[in-house]
Amino acid sequence: MKILLVEDDTAIATEMIKALRKEGFAVEHETAGKTALDVLPVVEPDLVLLDLGLPDIDGIEVLRKIRSEKLPTPVIVLTARNQTSSKIDALDIGADDYLAKPFDLLELMARIRAVTRRHNLQTSSQLSHGEVSLDLAAHSLTVGDKVTTLNRREFALLRELMLAVGRVKTRDALENSMYTMETDVGSNTIEVYISHLRRHLPKDFIKTIRGVGYVVPK
């Protein structure tokens, strides 16, 4: 599962990223509200962890923008504001949960699990298209009767493509799905892992759109 963390406090963000990755989450980190809104449609996270006290625009405005765009992405608000009115404002605008700082990381993990369960994003779920099924918990690929365990990068790429069946995913979007797994994504990394995936998939399951990216056709 991919998480977009919007937090400007470097020390807090570092600890959160470490804990989240230890739990197996992919994490994209932004320190400002405007950049978070810019990357949201590119990263396409499964969950947003949103601080309210951001340096450019208030996190409430970020939340309001997300909901005004009718984006279904679940949002957990993280903030030092512990007034009841702040909590009510965030929930009324569309936050799925609210956690006041300082918080225990174990409690954060529990809140994440609860919110993702409500949004049907349990790690036991599967993505299926034709005879291809991707197990989001086991990182395994099933084609017909053959089961293949994918490494993290192969899994991330195929997951992005299967979540967008019929829509072209650009190289940049696919690289974003790998940034949290490798600090430096090489210029030919996407091509290498697409090639690896194609060995296990039906012919033409992933099509190349020259000069743009890749697509799993409908």
Q: What tens digit of pLDDT does each residue of 155-181 get? A: 888 988 998 889 898 888 787 666 544
DSSP class per residue in 125-164 = -EEEETTEEEETTTTEEEETTEEEEPPHHHHHHHHHHHTT
For residue 97, give every residue at least 6 positions away whose Cβ sits within 8 Å of its Cβ, in sequence order, or none: 76, 77, 111, 114, 115
SS3 state of residue 28: strand
If one counts every other C-beta atom within 10 angstroms of the C-beta of residue 20, the result is 22
Q: What does the domain layout of the chain look like in residue ranges?
A: 2-118, 126-215
CATH of 126-215, one of 3.30.70.100, 1.10.10.10, 3.90.79.10, 3.40.190.10: 1.10.10.10
Rounded CA gap, 216 and 218, in Å? 7
The CATH homologous superfamily of the domain defined by 2-118: Response regulator (3.40.50.2300)
Q: What is the per-residue pLDDT across 180-200, written as a single tens digit (0 to 9) for each?
A: 444 445 556 889 999 999 999
Q: Round the average pLDDT of the chain to a whole number and report it.
A: 87
Tell me what percent of the residues of the chain surpass a pLDDT of 70. 91
Q: What is the per-residue pLDDT across 76-134, written as a single tens digit (0 to 9) for each?
A: 999 888 777 878 888 888 999 999 888 999 999 999 988 887 776 544 467 889 999 99
SS3 state of residue 110: helix
